């Protein structure tokens, strides 16, 4: 005789095991082939260190962001501030990105 708890009610069943109460077949029309079993991870996820990096742009402006490389400083000679593809005003005005008072009128 075994005791089985169903919805917090004890039921006495003679010679019935928990394996017999489990479904012997899947209710899915595709079977159980598409359902993955969740295996416990053997190792925890690795902790990736993040380091602060100061970026100095070509125009002298700086900003700090966090990366996984331990390199603490990078100096850019070519970036979005002085690249012709990123600065349409330089291409259109002949290299001068600053508009004068005469050009605005």
Question: What's the predicted TM-score (pTM) here?
Answer: 0.42
Between 85 and 23, name the one with better pLDDT: 85
**Residue 56 contacts residue 76 (beta carbons within 8 Å):** yes
Give residue-wise pLDDT tens across range 24-78. 566 777 777 777 777 787 888 899 999 999 999 988 899 999 999 999 999 988 8
Q: What letters, b where the CB count within 10 A reaches 16 and e where it falls short, cover 31-49?
A: eeeeeeeeeeeeeeeeeee
Give the domain ranges of the chain: 51-104
Among residues 2, 32, 36, the alpha carbon closest in space to that of 17 is found at 2
Rounded to whole angstroms, how far apart are CA atoms 49 and 68?
A: 6
Paired strand residues for 52: 66
> Would strands 51-56 and 2-6 be described as parallel, antiparallel, or unpaired?
unpaired
């Amino acid at each position: 005789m075994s005791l089985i708890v169903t919805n917090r009610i004890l039921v006495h069943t003679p010679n019935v095991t928990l394996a017999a109460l489990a479904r012997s077949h899947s209710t899915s029309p595709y079977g159980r082939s598409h359902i993955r079993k969740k295996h416990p991870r053997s190792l925890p996820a690795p902790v990736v260190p993040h380091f602060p990096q100061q970026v100095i742009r070509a125009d002298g402006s700086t900003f700090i962001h966090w990366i996984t490389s331990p390199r603490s400083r990078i100096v850019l000679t070519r970036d979005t501030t002085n690249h012709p593809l990123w600065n349409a005003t330089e291409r259109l005005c002949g290299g001068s990105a600053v508009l004068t008072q005469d050009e605005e009128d």
